[in-house]
Amino acid sequence: MNNVIESEEMHYEGNCIRPPSEAYSILLQVTVGCSHNKCTFCGTYTDKRFRIKDDNMILGDILFASKYMKRQDRVFLMDGDALIIPQKRLMWILDRIKEHLPWVRRVGAYANAKSIKMKTPEQLKDLKKNGLGILYLGVETGDEELLKKIRKGSSPQHLINMGRKVREAGIKLSATVLLGIAGRERSLEHAKATGELLSGMDPNYVGALTVMLLPGTLLHEEFQNGTFEVPTEKELLLELREMIAHTNLSRGLFFSNHASNYLPIKARLPKGKQVALDQIDSALKGDIGLREEWMRAL
């Protein structure tokens, strides 16, 4: 490989995000932006035009990590949808990670329904064999009309099918859902439909976040013109309760420990469902305190 870009720091462009569970991972930016970048609530990548980063720069960052990040045994591939990278190049990246970071136990990445569909089951299995251990899929809601409204570009059944496809390849699946995205009127309908979608998908993990209004997004515009109302704290707790009540996983973890949430929940379903529901009921009665507003963040 010629012209490898080596430096004394990792090469990051623009805002970079990662799941809470990847907080201590080596963050390797292999794409810039998001291949979809149309969701009405998301302002993370609005300043970036999607592209795959140059192989030499990616290798340079891997080499930097090989020198200075020997205590971190996971890698997370950023930005919004690394799975969209063509198979040959993605396998090359995983090969370089194995070659230069042999202590790394797992590689993770964000995915969307489009990128999962573009990979054959055999390709996903090859990625699994080459170190890709987990994919994070933004589901947001199981409500079909709401999926259209927020411009997610998928349907509930398609999301279920793509999630199952990941699981069948042996890759762990973490599904992200959004509390509050339906506003106040359809809060409980959204919660019930989302629980039903999660039950059909049966991911290893569910991460519930609470929607936060970001200036410059279409959702923020809807809020300003009065067509979107943010649910109250109590309504968000009731929504979370309804969602968990309708979520039946064979053996999965349901988290609401993201900083955007008012009430952190960690429950292994199905065994821990009732404990989680009781915890929410206690919060609704005021027996458990909620996260202060100033502590909430994306």
User: Does residue 83 have a pLDDT over 90?
Assistant: yes
Confidence of residue 156 (pLDDT cuts 50, 70, 90): very high
| pTM listed for this prediction | 0.94
pLDDT, residue 87, reads 98
Task: Kindly list the distances between the CA atom of residue 83 and the CA atoms of 139, 161, 290, in Å, as whole numbers in the listed order.
Answer: 16, 17, 36
Q: Report yes or no on 8 lying in a domain.
A: no
pLDDT, residue 1, reads 54
Q: Report yes or no on 167 lying in a domain.
A: yes
pLDDT, residue 78, reads 95
Q: Using an 8 Å Cβ cutoff, are 107 and 132 in contact? A: yes
pLDDT, residue 239, reads 98
- Please indicate whether residue 38 or residue 119 has the higher confidence score (pLDDT): 119
Which structural domain, as residue segments, surrounds residue 218?
Answer: 20-287
pLDDT, residue 109, reads 98
pLDDT, residue 202, reads 98
User: Does residue 28 have a pLDDT over 70?
Assistant: yes
For the purposes of burial, counting CB atoms within 10 Å of the CB of 22, is it exposed (0-12), middle (13-18) or buried (19 or more)? buried
Confidence of residue 127 (pLDDT cuts 50, 70, 90): very high
CA dihedral 62, 65, 70, 72 (to 10 degrees): -90
Q: Report yes or no on 91 lying in a domain.
A: yes
Q: Report yes or no on 166 lying in a domain.
A: yes
Q: Using an 8 Å Cβ cutoff, are 171 and 122 in contact? A: no
Q: Using an 8 Å Cβ cutoff, are 7 and 68 in contact? A: no
pLDDT, residue 6, reads 65
Q: Report yes or no on 292 lying in a domain.
A: no
Q: Give the separation between CA 29 and CA 217, rounded to whole angstroms.
A: 24
pLDDT, residue 297, reads 84
The tens digit of pLDDT for each residue in 31-70 reads: 998 888 899 999 888 877 889 999 999 999 999 999 999 9
Q: Give the separation between CA 26 and CA 96, rounded to whole angstroms.
A: 14
- Measured CA angle at 110 (ends 86, 180), to 5 deg: 140
Question: Residue 100, Cβ neighbours under 10 Å: how many?
Answer: 15
Q: Using an 8 Å Cβ cutoff, are 252 and 268 in contact? A: yes
Domain CATH for 120: 3.20.20.70
pLDDT, residue 5, reads 66
Q: Report yes or no on 297 lying in a domain.
A: no
The tens digit of pLDDT for each residue in 181-222 reads: 999 989 999 999 999 999 999 999 999 999 999 999 999 999
Q: Report yes or no on 274 lying in a domain.
A: yes
Confidence of residue 81 (pLDDT cuts 50, 70, 90): confident
CA 15 to chain CA centroid, Å, is: 16
Longest dimension (CA), the chain: 64
Q: Using an 8 Å Cβ cutoff, are 136 and 177 in contact? A: no
The mean-pLDDT minimum among 31-35, 125-129, 178-182 falls in: 31-35
Q: Report yes or no on 11 lying in a domain.
A: no
pLDDT, residue 294, reads 82
DSSP state of 97: H
Q: What is the DSSP string of 61-81?
A: HHHHHHHH-TT--EEEEESTT
Confidence of residue 284 (pLDDT cuts 50, 70, 90): very high
User: Phi-psi category of 293—alpha, beta or left, where left has phi over 0 and alpha has psi -120 to 50?
Assistant: alpha
pLDDT, average across residues 104-125: 97
pLDDT, residue 29, reads 96
User: Does residue 179 have a pLDDT over 80?
Assistant: yes
Q: What are phi and psi of 28, to 5 degrees?
A: -110, 110
Q: Spell out the SS3 assignment of 150-218.
A: CCCCCCHHHHHHHHHHHHHCCCEEEEEEEECCCCCCCHHHHHHHHHHHHHHHCCCEEEEEECCCCCCCH
pLDDT, average across residues 114-125: 97
**Nearest partner of 153 among 182, 118, 114, 116, judged by Cα:** 114
Query: What total number of domains does the chain contain?
Result: 1
The tens digit of pLDDT for each residue in 219-272 reads: 999 999 999 999 999 999 999 999 999 999 999 999 998 889 999 999 999 999
User: Phi-psi category of 54—alpha, beta or left, where left has phi over 0 and alpha has psi -120 to 50?
Assistant: beta
